[in-house]
A and B are shown apart, each in its own frame.
Chain A
Amino acid sequence: MNPYNYLYLAALLFTIGAVGVVVRRNAIVVFMCIELMLNAANLTLVTFSRINGTLDGQVVAFFTMVVAACEVVVGLAIIVTIYRSRRSASVDDASLLKR
């Protein structure tokens, strides 16, 4: 087995996350799929860090985790705000500007 197998796994997980963002309607589940995509990207960074023999990839993965944590905090606050005003967490219901 070579370390490139981790890259295949990351590609699969990223694709599954992308499908989830498109297919699911619950805003929280959509958000979880985005988290899955970020995690897949992190796995790629860690694997390349190992392949290249330097720790830079791990440092970037560390930064990705921090940014993802910020994103979760703000994103969930937005979802709660939308839920408060529209009584729904479905991404289809937030279409007020369309009509």
Chain B
Amino acid sequence: MLEIQTPEAVMFWVLAPLSVIAALGMLLVKKAVHSALLLAWVMVTLAIFYIAQDALFLGIVQIVVYTGAVMMLFLFILMLVGVDASDSLTETIAGLRPIAITAAVGFGGLFVALISRATLGREAVGLQAANADGNVQGLAQKLFSTYVWPFEVVSALLITAALGAMVLAHHQRSVARPTQRQQSIARFRSGSLAGAAGLPSPGVFARHNAVDVPALLPDGSAAPTSISATLKARGDMLESRSFELGEVDNTVTEEK
């Protein structure tokens, strides 16, 4: 008979509600990054449950593989795709949400009822005997005897997945990348020769040489081409009006 001690029960009743709340929050939060962090927390609690259930190796692997590698991959892709890309919670298919919740209540109820009514016909054993030589040693023995063929197949699967990811992520250019020579010719053949020597650098000499301040043209007005298009699109451009010739405050006396 497997007797569960009080510390494990306390741990379970503290962590299980927390993991369920985190999993629910994963559905309800708007931002995908927050979902990822909540999922990482659920995975950490599951690792603790594994370790509490005498699956030491799996608990460590859970933290290393899931919260370490998989969640970092998720966050990396979120950064690549754009943090708030299609984060809307609006319903696109009418009536989907009530149907989903009803189905979930039915499904979960069925699950719970099944677990509570089903019996194994014998007592739970516990892993004391199986883990007598140590959990890692016991797993290794299984893995390299009974399960050695699946183990080999899984290695083939890993290689295939890595190759597949490389093929999928490979980006083929539809147009050849312009060479430096072609770019130079294009600059000279464009409407005006103003950009032939490259775009003007930003900043107002001797006053403000940051990249977010446009340079001044000889007539004292701001040169729009001296600012990076990204800064302009983000609205991070500083107003250069105060640096323009007509606006410069000449009343400031020189400090001794």
Q: B53 and A80: CB pair below 8 A?
A: no
Contact partners of A63 in chain B: CB under 8 A: 147, 150, 154
Q: A73 and B73: CB pair below 8 A?
A: yes
Contact partners of A24 in chain B: CB under 8 A: 27
Residue of A with least CB distance to B88: A25
Prevailing SS type, chain A contact patch: helix
A2 CA to B115 CA in the complex, in Å? 12
Contact partners of B80 in chain A: CB under 8 A: 80
A55 CA to B133 CA in the complex, in Å? 12
Q: B73 and A70: CB pair below 8 A?
A: no
Q: A23 and B96: CB pair below 8 A?
A: yes
Contact of B70 among A9, A12, A15, A35 (CB under 8 A): A35
B206 within 8 A of A: no
Q: A53 and B161: CB pair below 8 A?
A: no
Q: A1 and B12: CB pair below 8 A?
A: yes
Prevailing SS type, chain B contact patch: helix
Stretch from B17-25, B185-193, B240-248 at the A interface: B17-25
B127 within 8 A of A: yes
Q: A88 and B77: CB pair below 8 A?
A: no
Contact of B81 among A1, A5, A55, A89 (CB under 8 A): A89
Q: A53 and B126: CB pair below 8 A?
A: yes
Contact partners of B50 in chain A: CB under 8 A: 43, 46
A 64-75 binary contact with B (CB < 8 Å = 1; else 0):
011111111110
Given contacts A11-B115, A49-B127, contact A2 B96 (CB under 8 A): no
A2 CA to B107 CA in the complex, in Å? 23
A78 CA to B190 CA in the complex, in Å? 40
Q: 5 pairs across A/B with beta carbons < 8 Å?
A: A43-B46, A65-B66, A69-B158, A71-B161, A80-B168
Residues of chain B touching chain A, judged by Cβ–Cβ distance below 8 Å, are 2, 4, 8-9, 12-13, 16, 19-20, 23-24, 26-27, 32, 35-36, 39, 42-43, 46, 49-50, 53-55, 57-58, 61-62, 65-66, 69-70, 73-74, 77-78, 80-82, 85-88, 92, 96-97, 100-101, 103-104, 107-108, 111-112, 115-116, 120, 124-127, 129-131, 135, 138-139, 142-143, 146-147, 150, 154, 157-158, 160-162, 164-165, 168-169, 171
Residues of chain A touching chain B, judged by Cβ–Cβ distance below 8 Å, are 1-9, 11-20, 22-29, 31-33, 35-36, 39, 42-43, 46-47, 49-56, 58-59, 61-63, 65-74, 76-81, 83-84, 88-90, 92-93
